[in-house]
Amino acid sequence: MAEILAKISEALQEGESDDVVELVKEALEAGVSSGDILQKGLMAGMDIIAALFKEEEIYVPEVLASANAMKAGALVLKPYLAESGAKSSGKVIIGTVEGDLHDIGKNLVRMMLEGKGMDVKDLGTDVTPAMFLEAYKTEKPDIVALSALLTTTMPKMKTTIDAFKEAGVRDNVVFMIGGAPISETYRSSVGADIYAPDAASAAESAIAVIERKKA
């Protein structure tokens, strides 16, 4: 079992989607549980990719290739995970704030979160405070993640958080923010809970939030 799981991890790290799909099918046919394939194969591989990316040993193209391989493998696993009653690690709503159309950083964060087994609802770009709030009411996520690349759209992070305050649900939400112009100082000034300087850190912080909630 360990050998096939290691092969899945390695193929994912190399961004070989077709190989990952075939290896996942092979593992299932060999009787390896869907949970082990997800945790010890796919997610183990993404953990390594996240660490390498954080250390700047690999870059965006490699992360995207591995994330696509993760997605392909997870798609094969999905019906088996449902049958086994497996649950996601947690739920996150993510989007780029109103007025900002940049999404590369947001997409990387989403992929890293999904690589950690999280259920991620991506609202896309140019997301208004009202849209974030409506999605929160529908999805009831553990975390709301806000992204901004432009200094001119940064204030929309505070506007969004303030909208949750006005709706009386701010205390129920963990806000995570990030983007090139964002800093820990800015996080404090707008009243967000977490500042993530990169996609790997965002995933680590999200897992920490979920573990605290479960404790």
Final residue of a domain: which of 84, 112, 129? 84
Residue 91 token pair: 């739920």
Amino acid 131: pLDDT: 98
- pLDDT at position 151: 96
Helical residues (DSSP H) of the chain, grouped into ranges = 2-13, 17-29, 34-36, 43-54, 60-84, 104-115, 129-139, 155-166, 184-190, 199-214
Number of structural domains (the chain) is: 2
pTM of the model: 0.82
Q: Same structural domain for residues 95 and 74? A: no
Structure tokens at 25: 């099918």
* Same domain flag for 129 and 207: yes
Task: Using the 3D structure, point to which of 45, 64, 84 is the last residue of a domain.
Answer: 84
Asked if 63 and 139 sit in the same domain, the reply is no
Q: How confident is the model at residue 179 (pLDDT cuts 50, 70, 90)?
A: very high
Residues 77 and 121 both lie in one domain: no
78-134 pLDDT, tens digit per residue, is: 888 877 776 678 999 999 999 999 998 999 899 889 888 899 999 999 999 999 999
What confidence score (pLDDT) does residue 215 get?
A: 73
Question: Which tens digits make up the pLDDT trace of 131-163?
Answer: 999 999 999 999 999 999 999 999 999 999 999
Q: What is the CATH number of the domain that holds 102?
A: 3.40.50.280
| Structure confidence at residue 213 as a pLDDT band (50, 70, 90) | confident
Instruction: Find the range with the poorest average confidence among 6-10, 73-77, 94-98.
Output: 73-77
> 142 is written with which tokens?
């553990």
The CATH number linked to 24 is 1.10.1240.10
The Cα 179–Cα 186 span in angstroms is: 11
Mean per-residue pLDDT of the chain: 93
Among 84, 108, 138, which residue terminates a domain? 84
Tell whether 104 and 193 lie within a shared domain: yes
Same domain for 207 and 114: yes
Same domain flag for 112 and 189: yes
- Location of structure tokens 């259920």: 119
* Token duo for residue 28: 């299932």
> By the 8 A CB rule, do 66 and 45 touch?
yes
- Residue 167 confidence (pLDDT) above 80: yes
Do 198 and 128 lie in one domain? The reply is: yes
| Domain interval for residue 40 | 2-84
Within this chain, do residues 108 and 206 fall inside the same structural domain, yes or no?
yes
**Pair 80, 102 in one domain:** no
How far apart (Å, rounded) are the C-alpha atoms in residues 192 and 174?
Answer: 8
Same domain, 158 and 202: yes
Residues 70 and 174 in one domain: no
Using CA atoms, how far residue 199 sits from 32, 35, 113, 181, in Å, is 30, 24, 8, 15
